[in-house]
Structure 1
């Protein structure tokens, strides 16, 4: 079985908006965002906080999930995050 090393993640920006992205290294990608070298959208919107990440076995699966999630409404993303907090111990 292939190791899951493709990730989709959601950042909560300082202005309350969400940014969804794809990476193979979440920690490194967040460092890039925080240094202003990530996505144009996140520049000047700090502080940034990782609120969600999901691993996928293939790049294709992760990119499809990212594409779909980017079409979600804010309410859809908040529902996902709410479900995560309800499921945690």
Structure 2
């Protein structure tokens, strides 16, 4: 009679688990969110598990069609995240921001953009009048 396997052992090896068993120096479960400045001044936001490789792909025109049309690109900000899905969530969050908010974030971090949400700006305007 075979022993029943737990759900943990049935998962494929790439499945993200709460506790990663890899060295923390550069784990395959870790992700990086990054912002590139394109030649026309626009910003590109992305996430990856291998930033050096991804930057090479962007530089040689194989990274994305958006950056391919706007070469050369320059890395202006990046942040390592404990998990790939955290990096992806940050990417989507930053992509929803205006260019002005992105530039303020690049220059001053999260403290520089406190109060930039539309709701907070509306509340501030209504309080001033």
Give the TM interval when normalised to the shorter protein: 0.7 to 0.9
Is 1:62 aligned to 2:71, yes or no?
Answer: no
After TM superposition, the score normalised by the length of structure 2 is: 0.61
Q: Which structure shows the bigger proportion of residues in strand conformation? A: 1
- 1:27 is paired with a residue of what secondary structure? helix
Q: Show structure 1 runs of 5+ residues with no match.
A: 85-89
Pairwise CA RMSD of aligned residues? 1.5
- The structure whose RCO (Cα within 8 Å, separation 6+) is larger is 1
Deviating beyond 3 angstroms after TM superposition, the runs of 4 or more aligned structure 1 residues are none
Is 1:12 aligned to 2:37, yes or no?
Answer: yes
Larger Rg: 2
Q: Show structure 2 runs of 5+ residues with no match.
A: 1-18, 110-129
After TM superposition, the score normalised by the length of structure 1 is: 0.87
Which residue of structure 2 aligns with residue 21 of structure 1?
Answer: 46
